[in-house]
Amino acid sequence: MDSLQSTGVLWFLLLILMVARASAVNTPSCPLLTRPEEVSPTFTYNYSTPEFQSLFQQLDKTIKLFTSNNRLNSYAVAVVHGNRTIYTTGLTTTKFRVASITKTFTALGALMLRDQGLLSLDDTVKTHLPEFSIINPYDDHEVTLRELMGHVAGLPRDLCNLEHLQCGSNETEILEQVAGMKLVRPPWSNEPAYSNLGLSLLGHAWEKATSPRVSWEEFVVERILKPLGMNNSGVDLQGVDLAPTSLPEGLVDLQWSRPAAQLYSTAEDLGKYLQFLITGEPALISQTSIREWVSPATLFNDGQAGYAFPWELRQIPDFIEMVVSKSGDMFTYRSHISFDKSSGVGVAVLGSYEPGTSSSPIDLADRVFVPVVKTVESVNAQFLEAKYGGTYSCGFSAYTKSTTFDYKVRVIAGTIRVYVNSSLGLLADAEIALVNDVVPVVVNTTWSLLLKNASENSFWFGESPDCGAFAAQIGAAPDLAHPNELGTLFTNVIRFDPDGKTLEWPVVGGVFRKSGSSPPLLRPSRVFLVSLLVIFILLQRF
Ligand SMILES: *[C@@H]1O[C@H](CO)[C@@H](O)[C@H](O)[C@H]1NC(C)=O
Ligand SMILES: *[C@@H]1O[C@H](CO)[C@@H](O)[C@H](O)[C@H]1NC(C)=O
Ligand SMILES: *[C@@H]1O[C@H](CO)[C@@H](O)[C@H](O)[C@H]1NC(C)=O
Ligand SMILES: *[C@@H]1O[C@H](CO)[C@@H](O)[C@H](O)[C@H]1NC(C)=O
Ligand SMILES: *[C@@H]1O[C@H](CO)[C@@H](O)[C@H](O)[C@H]1NC(C)=O
Ligand SMILES: *[C@@H]1O[C@H](CO)[C@@H](O)[C@H](O)[C@H]1NC(C)=O
Ligand SMILES: *[C@@H]1O[C@H](CO)[C@@H](O)[C@H](O)[C@H]1NC(C)=O
């Protein structure tokens, strides 16, 4: 090559370089990601880890101490997480009467028939039991199935004085007796009236809507217990080997009142029931119906507890949502189940107590339930910390006033804490509570945050110093489909990629890369130009 030619080529190369540089200035060196795939961070729990093993040892101790201090003759405990029973102790295959836990099965039957279109929960009881009537001193309202399910019909507690003991089984006679009874509260009173009679009526009302017609007993066994694999549970006590009870009435059959409290079960089987409640599988009813089932029918005046349909809702300190639970108490048998949808933890406690013992199965259940939920939450936090925690940085900022900004976003998962630091100092410091669904979060800075939802790794920012206004806006259901069209309240969105190696923050104008993760690849066009340059320089030399 002669020198004139090579000078021309050099000028040409310089021109190309300048164009390349200019375009590099206009293009963020950290290109924006396209919207990440909608993934939920999946995580396989390992219950053999030291964290879970020490939890289980702690549970062994707690349960031993409680049962020896509280005169339990026999007991069983099962702990469920998602679709697995992760811990059991005691007589887990022994059959105990679970008494009022039966009521939740009676309600489930009503929901199943409703989902099949065979009845409506707003049907009056009379629609299905034409002989039913009761004196209503308040107004002419007709009691509905939904009201029976939520203990808000205002019905008396029991049919006969002996606490739902054998009141006979002739329905005609029983309904005649009920016709002479009076409501004890107005329907939908804010002081609900727990009613064994109400749940018995519910079971006998919906059994008339089954097609082909089957009894409450047959429906519960064939359509609920069998599909759930609860083979050691049932409603016919004949020939059943129950956990010993020191009271002879322990074996009494409830006859017409069976839908209120007849079921017997084991810890192992109630574990399967809890798995169904938590996962919705097998799908006996829709997920919507499960949510409806555990929604409050009423809250008591202190707002700390209430009835669902007919679950008992309780506030436990530190829990965001009310815990859904049901207790059963009959003769010496006391039982309890509780579950928490957001951590997927459930616990079943069954026992036969010595007569005269006042201790409640809830006390034992909570001593198990609370540490399990805390452990699961801590494991979740560690997983998120490992995945998303770290310092993310990006030297480039296209949309900010100063090009000297060096944004660093520090993410500490758990609650995720996001710091944004620049050469000017700390710009943001905010916390996000990790929750499964759209829930308002800790708001403690001028920046307020919301974790969008578990199946999408994105977060919205709002800049409202007014916590109340912010919460109200969230309550007004932000448009989940259009996270960037939330108006003035939500001004930023952060998105993590599925592996947590980058995070995109469009408003700031770039992609932040986690320290230690691989550097961005050069864009192909620039790679091409640079290679071209190297080749030409080499050609010049040789
Ligand atoms: C589960 O944890 C135990 C104890 O840390 C470990 O030995 C085992 O390999 C883990 N199993 C899996 C599948 O990761
Ligand atoms: C529980 O669910 C997980 C994920 O959906 C599945 O891989 C696992 O096999 C299930 N376990 C049981 C015991 O059904
Ligand atoms: C139920 O009681 C009614 C009225 O006492 C009586 O006529 C009827 O025969 C009884 N039914 C059964 C199945 O015993
Ligand atoms: C329950 O019994 C049925 C029928 O007898 C059987 O097919 C099923 O495998 C049993 N389920 C369990 C969990 O034992
Ligand atoms: C933010 O950056 C400044 C200057 O680099 C530094 O002094 C400060 O400690 C940083 N703050 C945080 C919270 O990282
Ligand atoms: C909010 O911030 C203040 C001051 O930094 C701190 O004292 C307080 O504990 C924080 N509250 C919460 C709920 O984090
Ligand atoms: C969560 O995000 C996914 C994907 O965008 C969406 O399908 C789902 O409806 C969202 N869940 C809620 C509760 O908004």
pLDDT tens-digit map of 330-382: 989 999 999 998 788 999 999 998 887 778 899 999 999 999 999 988 887 77
Is the pLDDT reported for residue 436 higher than 50? no
Q: DSSP assignment of 218-258, as one string?
A: HHIIIIIITTTT-TT-BS--TT--BPP-SSGGGG---GGGH
d(CA 10, CA 170): 106
Q: Which two tokens stand for residue 220?
A: 């519960």
pLDDT-above-90 percentage for the chain? 51
221 ligand 4 Cβ < 6 A: no
Q: How many other CB atoms sit within 10 Å of the CB of residue 12?
A: 11
The predicted structure's pLDDT at residue 72: 86
What DSSP line would sit under 187-206, residue for residue?
TT-SS----HHHHHHHHHHH
In angstroms, what CA-CA distances link 492 with 28, 70, 249, 302, 507? 19, 55, 65, 38, 6
Residue 442 CA, ligand 6 centroid: distance in Å: 10
Sequential DSSP letters for 473-499: HHHT---TT-TT-STTSEEEEEEE-TT
Longest CA span, the chain:
118
Q: What is the pLDDT of residue 11?
A: 64
Nearest of 237, 299, 205 to residue 99 by alpha carbon? 237
Q: Tell me the pLDDT of the chain averaged across its residues.
A: 78
Please compute the mean of the pLDDT values over residues 287-293 and round it to a whole number: 96
- Match 């996270």 to its residue by tokens: 483
Whether the CB of 147 sits within 6 Å of ligand 7: no
Contact 208, 317 (CB under 8 A): no
Distance 43 CA to ligand 1 centre (A): 14
Percent of the chain with pLDDT over 70: 66
For ligand 5, residues with CB inside 6 Å are: 419, 421, 425-426
Q: Quick check: 421 pLDDT over 60?
A: no
Of 255, 235, 95, 226, nearest in space to 166 by CA: 255
CA distances from 210 to 109, 201, 432 (A): 10, 15, 48
The b-or-e profile of 88-98 (16+ CB within 10 A means b, else e) is bbbbbebbbbb
Q: Indicate yes or no: pTM above 0.85.
A: no
Tell me if residue 20 falls in helix, strand or coil: helix
Q: Closest ligand to 423 CA?
A: 5
Q: In angstroms, rounded to a whole number, what is the distance separating the alpha carbons of residues 171 and 179?
A: 12
Residue ranges of alpha helices (H) inside 320-394 are: 361-388
Ligand 6 pocket mutation pick from 444, 448, 449 by most atoms within 8 angstroms of CB: 444
What is the sign of the dihedral through the CA atoms of 191, 197, 198 and 200? positive
User: 369-397 burial by CB neighbour count: b if 16+ within 10 A, else e?
Assistant: bbebbebbbebbbebbbebbbbbbbbebb
Going by CA atoms, what residue is nearest to atom 4 of ligand 1? 49
pLDDT digits (tens, 9 = 90+) for 291-344: 999 999 998 888 889 999 999 999 998 787 789 999 999 989 999 999 998 788
231 lines ligand 4 (CB under 6 A): yes
Residue 397 predicted with pLDDT over 50: no
> What 3-state DSSP class applies to 419?
strand
Work out the average pLDDT over 487-502: 59
Give the pLDDT score at 178: 96
pLDDT the model gives residue 478? 39
Q: What is the pLDDT of residue 464?
A: 43
Residue 272 CA: nearest ligand 4 atom is 13
Question: Does the pLDDT at position 177 exceed 80?
Answer: yes
Q: Does the pLDDT at position 512 exceed 80? A: no
Strand bridging mode 456-462 / 510-514:
unpaired
For residues 251-265, give the mean pLDDT.
94
**pLDDT of 379:** 85
Choose between 165 and 27: higher pLDDT. Answer: 165
Q: Return the top range by mean pLDDT from 59-73, 171-185, 409-423.
A: 171-185
Please say whether the beta carbons of 455 and 40 come within 8 A. Answer: yes
Averaged over 394-414, what is the pLDDT?
51
Q: What is the pLDDT of residue 386?
A: 77
pLDDT band at 470 (very low <50, low <70, confident <90, very high): very low
Does residue 425 register a pLDDT over 90? no
Expressed in angstroms and rounded, the spacing between residue 479 Cα and the centre of ligand 7 is: 11
Residue 461 pLDDT exceeds 80: no
Which pLDDT does position 331 carry in this prediction?
A: 86
pLDDT higher for 250 or 460? Answer: 250
- Which residue has better confidence, 134 or 537? 134
Residue 525 pLDDT? 43
Ligand 4 contact via 190 beta carbon (within 6 Å)? no
In this structure, the number of other CB atoms found within 10 A of the CB of residue 233 comes to 25
pLDDT at 280: 95
The residues that bridge with 335 in the sheet, in sequence order, are 328, 350
Note the pLDDT tens digit of each residue in 208-247.
Answer: 999 999 999 999 999 999 999 999 999 999 999 999 887 7
Nearest to 511 by CA among 521, 119, 435: 521
From the CA of 457, how far away is ligand 7's center (Å)? 11
Q: Quote the pLDDT of residue 524.
A: 39
pLDDT at 22 over 60: no
* Confidence at residue 308, expressed as pLDDT on a 0 to 100 scale: 97
pLDDT, average across residues 111-117? 98
Residue 13 pLDDT: 62
- pLDDT interval class at 9 (50, 70, 90): low
Alpha helices in 27-123 (DSSP H): 50-69, 102-115
How much distance in Å is there from the Cα of 444 to the middle of ligand 6?
6
Statement: residue 181 has pLDDT above 60: yes
Q: Which residues of 207-231 are buried (b: 16+ CB within 10 A; e: fewer)?
A: bebbeeeeebbebbbebbbeebebe
Cα 466 from Cα 272, distance rounded (Å):
45
* Tokens (6 digits) for 349: 């406690």
**What is the enclosing helix (H) or strand (E) of 517?**
none
In whole angstroms, what is the distance from residue 329 CA to residue 101 CA?
Answer: 9
- Cα–Cα distance between 472 and 450 in angstroms, integer? 13
Rounded to whole angstroms, how far apart are CA atoms 3 and 540? Answer: 10
Name the one residue in this structure whose structure tokens are 């039957």. Answer: 109
Burial class for 315, CB neighbours closer than 10 Å (0-12, 13-18, 19+): middle
